[in-house]
Amino acid sequence: MIKLEKVTKEFASEAGKFTALKPNDIHIRKGEFIAIMGPSGSGKSTLLQLIGGLDLPSSGSITVDGVKLNDLNEKERTLFRRTKVGFVFQNYQLLPMMTVAENVALSLAANKTPKAEMNSRVISLLQDVNLEDKQRNFPSQLSGGQQQRVAIARALAMKPRLILADEPTGNLDRKNGEDVLQLLSRLNKEEQMTIVMVTHDRQAAKKADRIILIRDGEVVQGGVEGEDLL
């Protein structure tokens, strides 16, 4: 499903080049639930952005679901992100002036989905995350856990085979965090979705099939063969 070969990422700064990721090889199989762990600043979120086509590597190649991201132009990468990948972020990134239903429908509307089909899909998604009764509410009227479930519903709108989650429980209390993890685990097991989750939480990481540990921009364990580190 995901193959990174000799991937590096460098950023320019006033002090010179900063290496966020050293040469790494990572293989993730279709249907795996992967947790990426490591200290702050180790390169976890940078890695997730590269897998999702939000950025390009400085060197090396990235292939996701048979698509070599290095070969795509910006327009093609936008289409790839919109149709192939669902993103879930720590801060939810819901649009406050839109209702729950409108937030979930964003990618469907962008892809010019017929209105009747879009409405049906939104209702189905909100049922899946137990928020059907909140479709006319605004994000500010929801709890943090509810907002994160809306974000997951939005991520699922285009039926992606890959979910990328960056600290999805980071702003939630233990109960709401567990609910979100259970939802991700169900999607992985029942829908065979590939899930790659960045987390600092050791308990959250235990939901994963495999843990990839990164330190100072380098995969130190679990990159290709994988192992249980907890």
Q: With 50 as the cut, is the pLDDT of residue 157 above it?
A: yes
Question: With 60 as the cut, is the pLDDT of residue 143 above it?
Answer: yes
The predicted structure's pLDDT at residue 230: 43
Instruction: For residues 214 and 196, give the distance between their C-alpha atoms in angstroms, rounded to a whole number.
Output: 14
pLDDT in tens, 17-62: 889 999 989 999 999 999 999 998 899 999 999 999 999 999 999 9
pLDDT of 226 > 70? The answer is no
Q: What is the pLDDT of residues 83-99, one digit of tens each?
A: 899 999 989 999 999 99
What beta strand segments (E) does the chain contain?
A: 2-13, 16-28, 33-37, 59-64, 67-68, 85-89, 162-166, 194-198, 210-215, 218-221
* Cα Rg, the chain, nearest whole Å: 18
pLDDT-above-90 percentage for the chain: 77
Q: For residues 229 and 199, is the Cβ–Cβ distance under 8 A?
A: no
What's the predicted TM-score (pTM) here?
Answer: 0.90
Looking at residue 148, its amino acid is Q
**What pLDDT band is residue 223 in, cutting at 50, 70 and 90?**
low
* Domains of the chain and CATH, by start: 2-95+159-221 (3.40.50.300)
Q: Mean per-residue pLDDT for 133-144?
A: 95
Which pLDDT belongs to residue 109? 92
Res 222: pLDDT:
72
